[in-house]
Amino acid sequence: MTAVQEAPTQNKPALAKIRTDVVGSLLRPEIVKEARIAFDDGKITADALHAIEDEAVREAVRLQEDAGLDVVTDGEMRRLNFQDSFGESVEGYDANRSTLKVYEQRVEGAAPGQRWDIAQMHHAGTAVSHRRPTRARLKLAHNIPLEEYRFVSTVAKASAKVSLIGPDRISQRFEYESSTAVYRDMAAFLADVVTIERQIVSSLVDSPIQIARPAPIESRVGCL
């Protein structure tokens, strides 16, 4: 019996000998979700929300470092959706900021192994997570990945990274048929997307913190 119990431990490879990676998101603690709802409802300030998110990031980093990961993320504690890396960073979409309640409603009725269509896909929420048109050419306005990296790189002992969705995902969530007054075709839209993503990546490369702790940049195109 003892030999059988010990076999999995003996056969388990050392973490240092295999490639390990973190896609980006970790489960958000209840305190973060409660704070986000309170912020959405106007009950707490942005500074109060950020303080709670900061502590959640610290805990997420500790969890990953204690597990032996050599590259860690902030757990995406500040994002409502992984696609916010682009959607929340730009101006030009005909869109509004989403809330946590909106995203919770999107998954109501979903079940494992069943086809799931998001009924609210075209609602006027955050761009990319919602399929929205443009009202003007896109431009970088609020560099979300850079802000995330600046904080996580100061609390992590290991190398830190941030994730950024790729142009193909962004094109899938672009209501091009309602945007012809701004972009004549998808190629013109993607040219601006690539330009903005290069700006984001360049800002991370040029970050002063980068000197001490290089950050891999991960392009994410899938769903969580």
Given a contact cutoff of 8 angstroms between Cβ atoms, the answer to whether 220 and 24 are in contact is: yes
For residue 213, pLDDT beyond 50: no
For residue 205, pLDDT beyond 50: yes
**Mean local confidence (pLDDT), 200-207:** 89
Taking the CA atoms of 52, 56, 57 and 58 in sequence, report the sign of the dihedral they define.
positive
Pick the residue with more confidence: 107 or 4?
Answer: 107
Task: Say how far apart CA 121 and CA 186 lie, in whole Å.
Answer: 20
Closest CA to 120 of 101, 136, 144, 134: 101
For residue 173, pLDDT beyond 50: yes
Name the strand (E) or helix (H) holding 100.
Answer: helix 100-106
Q: What is the DSSP letter of 13?
A: P
For residue 170, pLDDT beyond 90: yes
The pTM score is 0.78
User: CB neighbours of 166 closer than 8 A, spacing ≥ 6?
Assistant: 197, 219, 220, 221
The class level of CATH for 22-108+118-220 reads alpha beta
Q: Which pLDDT score is estimated for 4?
A: 41
**Mean local confidence (pLDDT), 174-197:** 97
Q: What is the DSSP letter of 130?
A: B
For residue 136, pLDDT beyond 70: yes
Pick the residue with more confidence: 105 or 204?
Answer: 204
Pick the residue with more confidence: 7 or 171?
Answer: 171
**Mean local confidence (pLDDT), 25-39:** 95
> What's the distance, CA 71 to chain centroid?
16
- Residue 140 phi/psi, 5-degree rounding, is -70, 125
For residue 210, pLDDT beyond 80: no
User: CB neighbours of 212 closer than 8 A, spacing ≥ 6?
Assistant: none
